[in-house]
Amino acid sequence: MLASDVMSRVALKSAREIEIMRRAGGLVAETFRLLEPHVKPGVTLKELDRMAEEHIRKAGAVPAYIGYGPRNNPFPATLCMSVNEVICHGIPSDRELKEGDIVGVDIGVLLDGYYGDACYTYKVGQVTPEVDALVETTRQCLQAGLETVRPGSRTGDIGHAIQTLAESRGFSVVREYTGHGIGKRLHDEPTIYHWGARYTGLKLQPGMVFTIEPMINLGQPDTRLLDDGWTVITADKKPSAQFEHTLVVTSRGYDILTL
C-alpha cells in the first residue's frame, strides 16, 4: 500500500478528541497505580484482573479488551497479563506470581467513545541481573522511540531508534506485533513498527495519535502462538518485556496521553 493511501486513512484528532483521550489515558494510568502495590508474590493474575475491571467500571468506562477479537474466540478478560516468556496477550488465570517473575500488564479502556491503551512490565520482587537489564532496556527503548517523534519525522525513525538500542545490548525485537493508531477504534492506522530504517515510513503530522509498544526479548525474536488463540510466547521460552504509551504528535514534538 502506498504511503499516501495509508495517510488518507489516518484520522487527525481535534483538540476536543485529544482531551477525551487524555481522560481515557489518565484512567489507564490510575489503574496501573492501583495495581502496583498488589503485584507481588502470591497474588493471582485473576485477582489483579478483577481489581482492574472494578476500578475501570466504577470510573464510568468499559474495559477495552473484554470481548475483543473474533466472535468465536473473543478475549475473555480486562487485562492482558504476560508472565516471563509470554510476549503479549496472555489471559489472566489462577496462576500465582512468584519471586523473580516479570509480568507485562496491558490495560485498555473505552471512555466516552475513545480508547486509551498502555502497558507496563512489573518486576515481582528480586529478579536476576539479566532480566533486570531486559526490563530496563525495554523501558528505555520506549523512551528512545518517543524521542524521535515530531512533525516531519517518520515512523521508520521510531523503529530504528528502538531496534538500535535493543540490539546494541544483545536483546532482540519482536517484529510480528506493533504499535498502532488509536481513537474511536482500538487498532487503527498508522502501524508503528519497532524496527526499521531511518527516513522511511509515514511522515508524522500534528494530531496523529498512536501507540509505541516495543516488545523486547532476552533471547531470539521468534514467537509462537498458543492453542488458546491469544497467548504469544517466545519460541525459545526466554523472557520478554513490554512498555507502551499512547501519544499525540504536537507542533513541537509529542504529548503522552497515558500519564
As a CATH number, domain 3-256 is 3.90.230.10
Q: For 143-150, which contacts have Cβ atoms below 8 Å and span 24 or more sequence positions? A: 145/194, 145/212, 145/214, 146/212, 146/245, 146/247, 146/254, 146/256, 149/204, 149/212, 149/247, 149/249, 149/253, 149/254, 150/204, 150/249, 150/252, 150/253, 150/254
Distance (Å, whole) CA 74 – CA 64: 12
117 has binding-site annotation: yes
Residue-by-residue pLDDT tens, the chain, 259 positions: 445 556 667 889 999 999 999 999 999 999 999 999 999 999 999 999 999 999 999 999 999 999 999 999 999 999 999 999 999 999 999 999 999 999 999 999 999 999 999 999 999 999 999 999 999 999 999 999 999 999 999 999 999 999 999 999 999 999 999 999 999 999 999 999 999 999 999 999 999 999 999 999 999 999 999 999 999 999 999 999 999 999 999 999 999 999 9
244 has binding-site annotation: yes
Q: Where are the domains of the chain?
A: 3-256
First to last CA, the chain: 33
160 has binding-site annotation: no
In the three-class reduction of DSSP (H, G, I as helix; E, B as strand; rest coil), residue 123 is classed as strand
85 has binding-site annotation: no
176 has binding-site annotation: no
